[in-house]
């Protein structure tokens, strides 16, 4: 009788986990590389402690972190030991593809990980098609399990190329298409999937770069298109630019999830006016 009760209790627990909704916080955050030109409160040495406080205050489950070079990755590991890291092997220098993914080890478990470059040879270090810059671009990803409910989801962290010339725009479009192809191959059609990052393009009607975002809009939903949202600029240039709709360049796309809220963290605080030259943004989603 005791064994039957234990078995029944276990079945009920499993059923409740399967039917419960998992809430996940998915963030994109270009932290700005540690440039020697950044001094005072815009220097990485000052901003990194503000970033630590911000992450611990908001407590995202997964974060796409842009422009994190090797020494910055070490800093983040020391400042945020509760977060694991996924990176693109062989990166961390001026060569580029310095997108990493961090995840809260207290709330999600990492099941699988991988990465690829934005190029005709995505499985080895290589330049981004015919882009003017010699920098690499890439994406890293993880398959995660939300610990409370046991529900799985995929998260991809990316950073698309710069430039307004025709070959730059073509490279951006190719990168977006490659991201969608890889997401479909890795996650399939039915799993919850998220991708976040600095896309270096806006949805502004006068922005020719917007066409590079179309593959995401074809297969996914834009996190901003939810009832609780805003369309405020995400690139601030440390206050040195006049922000317009063309500066809404950081995005979170999703599929097979119910997004309840989109947030753009653009208020000063934490001891500095700007924790980066980009504002972090985040969606809260149910799986």
Region 53-76 average pLDDT: 98
Question: Is 15 strand, coil or helix?
Answer: helix
In a domain, 102, yes or no: yes
Answer left, alpha or beta for residue 150, where phi above 0 means left and psi between -120 and 50 means alpha.
Answer: left
Domain residue limits at 96: 23-286
In this predicted structure, the answer to whether residue 270 has a pLDDT above a threshold of 70 is: yes
d(CA 152, CA 22): 9
How many separate domains does the chain show? Answer: 1
Task: Give the model confidence (pLDDT) of 141-162 as tens digits.
Answer: 999 999 999 999 999 999 999 9
What local confidence, expressed as pLDDT, does residue 133 receive? 76
In a domain, 151, yes or no: yes
In a domain, 251, yes or no: yes
In a domain, 58, yes or no: yes
d(CA 206, CA 191): 34
Total count of residues recorded for the chain? 287
Question: Is 196 strand, coil or helix?
Answer: strand
In a domain, 14, yes or no: no
d(CA 238, CA 38): 10
Q: What is the pTM of this model?
A: 0.92
DSSP, res 41: G
Checking DSSP bridges between strand 23-30 and strand 62-66, what pairing results, if any?
parallel
In a domain, 41, yes or no: yes
Which CATH number does the domain housing residue 146 bear?
A: 3.60.10.10
Percent of the chain with pLDDT over 70: 93
In a domain, 15, yes or no: no
In a domain, 18, yes or no: no
């Amino acid at each position: 009788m005791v064994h039957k009760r234990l078995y029944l209790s276990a079945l009920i627990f499993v059923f409740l986990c399967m039917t419960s909704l998992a809430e996940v916080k998915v963030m994109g955050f270009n932290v700005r590389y540690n440039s020697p030109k950044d001094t005072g409160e815009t220097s990485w040495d000052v901003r990194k402690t503000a970033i630590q406080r911000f992450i611990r205050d908001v407590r995202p489950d997964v974060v796409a972190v842009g422009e994190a070079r090797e020494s910055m990755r070490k800093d983040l590991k020391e400042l945020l030991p509760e977060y694991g890291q996924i990176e693109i092997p062989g990166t961390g220098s001026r060569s580029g593809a310095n997108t990493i993914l961090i995840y809260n080890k207290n709330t999600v478990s990492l099941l699988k990980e991988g990465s690829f470059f934005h190029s005709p040879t995505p499985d080895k270090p290589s330049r981004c098609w015919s882009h003017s810059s010699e920098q690499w671009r890439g994406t890293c990803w993880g398959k995660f399990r939300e610990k409370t409910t046991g529900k799985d989801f995929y998260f991809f962290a990316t950073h698309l190329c710069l430039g307004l010339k025709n070959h730059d725009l073509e490279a951006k479009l190719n990168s977006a298409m490659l991201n969608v192809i890889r997401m479909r191959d890795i996650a399939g059609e039915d799993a919850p999937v998220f991708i976040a990052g600095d896309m270096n393009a806006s949805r502004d009607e006068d922005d020719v770069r917007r066409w590079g975002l179309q593959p995401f809009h074809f297969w996914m939903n834009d996190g901003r298109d939810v009832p609780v949202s805003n369309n405020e600029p995400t690139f601030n240039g440390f206050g040195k630019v006049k922000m317009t709709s063309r500066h809404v360049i950081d995005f979170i796309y999703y599929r097979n999830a119910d997004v309840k809220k989109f947030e753009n963290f653009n208020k000063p605080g934490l001891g500095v006016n700007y924790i980066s030259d980009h504002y972090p943004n985040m969606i809260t989603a149910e799986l």
